[in-house]
Structures are given as C-alpha cells and as structure tokens.
C-alpha cells in the first residue's frame, strides 16, 4: 500500500478528496499530508446546499490530526470556494474539520477526552498544544454543547453558592438534582443572580419545577418566590446546611467554654474542637474513648452536642404530623438549654420551619449534587484558583454541564 493510499484510509477521506502527497520528516518527527480533489468535482454551498462547480480556492490551510505513532501529523488542503447566486463566493465545508477549526474532528475528539481527564496544562503536555490552543478546544466544546442543548424539564433543582478561590467572590450554581448536572452559573449570590436562571425558562418549565433545595439564604428565597408558581410548597431548605448552622453553634459553645476553663487553668477541652464537629457515627475509632470520657463530664458543649445530634431525627419522620410534634419538643429543649448560640440557631430554624418540613413531600438535599461539589472543588484546585471567573465557569460547564461536547 502506498503511503498516500494509507493516509487516505487513516484519515477516512472520501470522494472527491484524496491524499496527493505525504511527507515524513524524521528530524522534526512529523508527518505532513496533503489532501486534493479533481478539478471537475462539484461542491455544495454551505448555506443552501445548492451543488455548484469550483469557483477558486482559499489559501492553503493546516489542521492538526491524530499523531502517527510519535509523529505529529498535519493535514494540508486548499478549501474550494463556490459562487452561489444567493450567498456569494463562499468556502465549502470540509468533511474532516469544523469551520475555522485548526484541528481535525478526530484530533478534537481526542483532545476533549484528554481534557476531561486532566487539567489544561496536563493536556498541553500530552497533546503538544499551547495553553491557548487547548483552552480554545475546551471553550469551543462548551459553546457547541450549549448550542445543542435541548429545552427540557428540570423537576428538582438545587441552588448553591460556591466561593471562587481568588478574591472571595461567589458563584450561584443551579443543579439538576436528578441528572447531577450544573444547569446554570451566575456571578455573585444576589437575588438577581438566581432571577436570571428563572427568567431564562419557559412558563412550562417554571411550572414543571417540583422542588428547590437551598440554604436559608434570603436572596434565593425571594428569587424563587418571585418566579416559581407555588414556591412556598416547593422550597426545601437543605438539611445539611441546617445541620451546619447548628454545628457552628456547638462550636461557639465550645469556644466560650474552653476560654472560661482555660482562664481557670483547666485544659479539659484542649484539642477537642473536631470531636464535637463529628456526627456520632463518624468519630474516629482511636478517639472514641476520649470523646466518651468528655461526654461523661458535665460540660456545656456536651449538652449542645447532644441537642444537635437529636435534631437529625427531624428528617427521619415519614408523617409530617409526627415530624412537627418532634420539632416542637426539640425547639422547647433547645430554647430552654441556657446555651445562647443553640437558642439562636433554634430561633433561625423556627423562622424557616415551614420550608424545612417540606422535606416530607420532597426529600431533596443539595448533597444529591455532592459528586458535583467535589468535582468543582477539583476543577478549582487544578487551576490553582481561576484568576478569570469566566474561565472557571467555562470549566464547570465542560466537566459538569452534562453537555454534548464532541464535534460531529
């Protein structure tokens, strides 16, 4: 088999395209392949598909293709132009690349696969690309994915905020809790940030929303109330955020008590911070005895911790009436505990209880997108904190958007 025939086969070129020449440069470790076509071939106008004769050629262009073993491989061709009565003199489309791309479809597919599994710098080393080239492939893939994205019903959504590493700026993320995909990203965590997601939906899509998991964050509550019909029955405050608030209260109790004890020369609580932050079942085996001994002492933090642990039962009820009864008992206990941070946390929860017990109808939490969270954390650390927030958003869509990224 001749090398031209071999490359015609490898590139999958079809009539009227053939490989006219192959050049192997051992020193530069590269293969150059030229594609050509017969003069009398006919071409379709890219806009209206009218079949026309060749008008002339554009300048020769080069596309990076999949390597031939360790040799970088580049395809060269002059793209034919046709003179269409309706569209003027235009370049035809070539079967091996998207318009304006400098890579063949197969190379771009490979690059997308590599980019999915490592960061942009890693991809530049594996593929022998510049940072801008690799980033360009990633960015085009996201644009392509968004253009193809169909309007569909997202029934259960999670709204969460993410700190973008540099400068402590926030992003608002909307996730599809069933698909585990990031549907929308906005800067900041204001009402407007979330408003923009809702205003992009059709009335059918807004009606189709069944549940919205979120933290007790006023701007998100307002945005959801303003746009989602019957939002009052659909907002579900995320149980892990709520437990987070109570855990913070436990930690505040510990801090105050530790300070008071230390002033009296008592080191009982020294080094115990994390013990009180664990859930009962997560205390590490080697510290269980130490923790049990601490709990046997009459400590304020011990009481605060017990109150927090019991609250977790609120989400185990099946019947709303039983759940509400439990809640009343717990609230009484917490507010009569003489532990100020715990009392405050209980008051915050009371103000929001109507949309906490909606959990019984819609058992959703933002932890359903936990996999997403860890992935986003990885994206952020891979890029050592994105200096450019647009880049961070694009990378999240690339890795977590559930988009169809490949060129076709």
Q: What does the alpha-carbon distance between residue 207 and residue 200 come to, in Å, rounded to a whole number?
A: 13
Among residues 39, 40, 59, 86, the one that binds Zn ion under rule CB under 5 A: 86
Q: What are phi and psi of 231, to 5 degrees?
A: -60, -30
Q: Which is nearer to Zn ion, 47 or 336 (CB)?
A: 47
Span near Zn ion by CB under 5 A; candidates 76-84, 180-188, 306-314, 389-397:
76-84
Span near Zn ion by CB under 5 A; candidates 41-49, 91-99, 246-254, 266-274:
41-49
Applying the rule CB under 5 A, the residues between 45 and 64 that interact with Zn ion are 45, 47-48
Min CB(50)–Zn ion separation in Å: 5
Query: Could you give the C-alpha distances from 217 to 194, 214, 235, in angstroms and in order?
Result: 12, 8, 11
Among residues 84, 127, 185, 301, the one that binds Zn ion under rule CB under 5 A: 84
Min CB(49)–Zn ion separation in Å: 7
Q: What does the alpha-carbon distance between residue 90 and residue 77 come to, in Å, rounded to a whole number?
A: 16
Residue 88 touching Zn ion (CB under 5 A): no
Q: Which is nearer to Zn ion, 51 or 318 (CB)?
A: 51
Min CB(2)–Zn ion separation in Å: 37
10 Å CB burial of residue 382 (0-12, 13-18, 19+) is middle
Nearest to 38 by CA among 17, 60, 55: 17
10 Å CB burial of residue 4 (0-12, 13-18, 19+) is middle
Q: Are strands 169-176 and 71-84 parallel, antiparallel or unpaired?
A: unpaired
Q: Which is nearer to Zn ion, 39 or 86 (CB)?
A: 86
295: left (phi over 0), alpha (psi -120 to 50) or beta: alpha
Min CB(53)–Zn ion separation in Å: 14
Q: Which is nearer to Zn ion, 47 or 259 (CB)?
A: 47
Applying the rule CB under 5 A, the residues between 6 and 35 that interact with Zn ion are none
Q: Which is nearer to Zn ion, 86 or 289 (CB)?
A: 86
Applying the rule CB under 5 A, the residues between 180 and 199 that interact with Zn ion are none
Min CB(51)–Zn ion separation in Å: 10
Query: Could you give the C-alpha distances from 144 to 46, 195, 313, in angstroms and in order?
Result: 18, 25, 46
Q: What does the alpha-carbon distance between residue 389 and residue 168 come to, in Å, rounded to a whole number?
A: 11
Q: Which is nearer to Zn ion, 84 or 269 (CB)?
A: 84
Among residues 21, 57, 87, 270, the one that binds Zn ion under rule CB under 5 A: 87
Q: Match 């549940």 to its residue by tokens.
A: 211
Q: Which residues bind Zn ion (CB under 5 A)?
A: 45, 47-48, 84, 86-87
């Amino acid at each position: 088999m001749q090398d031209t025939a071999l490359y015609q086969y490898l590139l999958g070129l079809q009539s009227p395209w053939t490989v006219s020449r192959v050049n192997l440069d051992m020193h530069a470790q590269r293969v150059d392949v030229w594609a050509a076509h017969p003069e009398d071939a006919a071409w379709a106008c890219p806009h209206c598909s009218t079949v026309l004769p060749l008008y002339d050629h554009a300048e020769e262009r080069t596309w990076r293709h999949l390597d031939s073993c360790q040799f970088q491989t580049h395809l060269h061709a002059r793209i034919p132009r046709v003179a269409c009565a309706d569209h003027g003199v235009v370049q035809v489309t070539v079967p091996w690349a998207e318009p304006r791309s400098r890579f063949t479809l197969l190379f771009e597919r490979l690059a997308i696969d590599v980019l999915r599994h490592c960061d942009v710098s890693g991809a530049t080393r594996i593929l022998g690309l510049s940072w801008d080239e690799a980033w360009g492939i990633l960015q085009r893939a996201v644009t392509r994915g968004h253009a193809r994205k169909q309007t569909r019903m997202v029934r259960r959504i999670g709204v969460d905020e993410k700190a973008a590493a540099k400068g402590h700026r926030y992003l608002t993320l909307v996730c599809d809790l069933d698909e585990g995909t990031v549907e929308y990203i906005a800067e900041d965590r204001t009402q407007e940030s979330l408003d923009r997601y809702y205003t992009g939906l059709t009335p059918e899509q807004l009606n189709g929303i069944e549940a919205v998991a979120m933290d007790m964050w006023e701007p998100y509550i307002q945005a959801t109330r303003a746009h989602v019909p019957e939002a009052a029955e659909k907002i579900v405050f995320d149980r892990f955020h709520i437990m987070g608030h109570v855990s913070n209260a436990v930690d505040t109790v510990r801090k105050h008590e530790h300070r008071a004890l230390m002033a009296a020369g008592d080191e009982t609580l020294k080094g115990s911070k994390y013990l009180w932050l664990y859930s009962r079942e997560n205390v590490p085996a080697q510290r269980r005895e130490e923790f049990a001994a601490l709990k046997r002492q009459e400590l304020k933090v011990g009481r605060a911790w017990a109150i927090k642990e019991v609250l977790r039962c609120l989400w185990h009820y099946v019947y709303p009436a039983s759940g509400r009864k439990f809640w009343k008992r717990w609230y009484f206990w917490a507010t009569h505990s003489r532990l100020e941070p715990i009392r405050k946390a209980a008051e915050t929860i009371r103000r929001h209880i109507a949309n906490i017990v909606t959990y019984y109808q819609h058992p959703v939490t933002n932890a359903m997108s936990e996999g997403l969270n860890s992935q986003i954390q990885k994206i952020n650390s891979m890029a050592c904190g994105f200096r450019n927030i647009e880049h961070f958003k694009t990378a999240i869509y690339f890795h977590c958007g559930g988009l169809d990224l490949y060129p076709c």
